[in-house]
């Protein structure tokens, strides 16, 4: 039986091979295509997802976004954990080491 992926500061999230995160030239938008679901990430979520490559921890992603958006790292870390936990619970996110 699978285990629930819990998103922690040290988790290095990755978008699974069967999820397609792509930019639609026709609709001019980013989408996340998953089994029988299409999600539409907002601009900031797109930046988060671009960093979900399996090599960056949540802490590291938050640091990079804090620099980019000139925002407090703690707040960003908290927000992206909520967002990525929701995605993980829907099976849209994986992690090699949890």
Partner 1 sequence: MPDKLIIPERTYTEAPMAILAELTHRCPLSCGYCSNPLELVKKNSELTTDEWLDVIDQAAAMGIYQIHFSGGEPTLREDLEIMVEHADKKKLYCNLITSGVLLTRKRLEKLQKLGVRHVQLSLQDSDSKNAERIGNYKGSLEKKIEVAEWLRELKIPLTINAVMHRQNLHNLEDIIQLSVDLDAHRIEIANVQFYGWALKNRAAFMPTKKQALASKTLVDKLIKKLKGIIIFDYVLPDYYAKKPKSCMFGWGRQSVNVTPEGFILPCGAAETIKSLKFENIRDEKLAWIWEHSSAFNMYRGTDWMPEPCKSCDHREIDWGGCRCQALALTGDVNAVDPTCELSPFHEKIFGSASEESSKEAPKFVYRKPTNKEVEPDRRNVSYAKKEHIS
- List of residues contacting partner 1 (CB under 8 A): 1-6, 16-18, 20, 22, 24, 26-27, 31, 33-42, 44-45, 48, 69, 71, 75-76, 79-80, 82-83, 86-91
Of 18 and 67, which has the nearer Cβ to partner 1? 18
For the bound state, the minimum distance from the C-beta of residue 48 to partner 1, rounded and expressed in Å, comes to 7
Long-range contacts of 37-44 (CB under 8 A, 24+ apart): 37/90, 39/92, 44/69
Phi, psi dihedrals of residue 51, rounded to the nearest 5°: -90, -5
Contacts of 49 (CB under 8 A, 6+ apart): 15, 21, 30, 32, 41
Of 22 and 53, which has the nearer Cβ to partner 1? 22
For the bound state, the minimum distance from the C-beta of residue 17 to partner 1, rounded and expressed in Å, comes to 7
Please list the residues that pair with 53 across neighbouring strands: 14
Of 12 and 62, which has the nearer Cβ to partner 1? 62
Of 12 and 32, which has the nearer Cβ to partner 1? 32
Measured distance CA(16)–CA(27) in Å, rounded: 24
């Amino acid at each position: 039986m699978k285990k629930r992926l819990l998103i922690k500061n040290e988790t290095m999230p990755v978008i699974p091979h069967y999820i397609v995160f792509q930019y639609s030239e026709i609709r001019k938008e980013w989408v996340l295509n998953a089994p029988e679901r299409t999600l539409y990430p907002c601009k900031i979520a797109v930046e988060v997802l671009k960093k979900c490559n399996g090599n960056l921890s949540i802490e590291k992603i938050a640091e990079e976004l804090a620099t980019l958006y000139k925002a407090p790292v703690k707040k960003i870390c908290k927000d992206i954990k909520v967002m990525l936990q929701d995605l993980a619970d829907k099976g849209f996110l994986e992690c090699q080491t949890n």
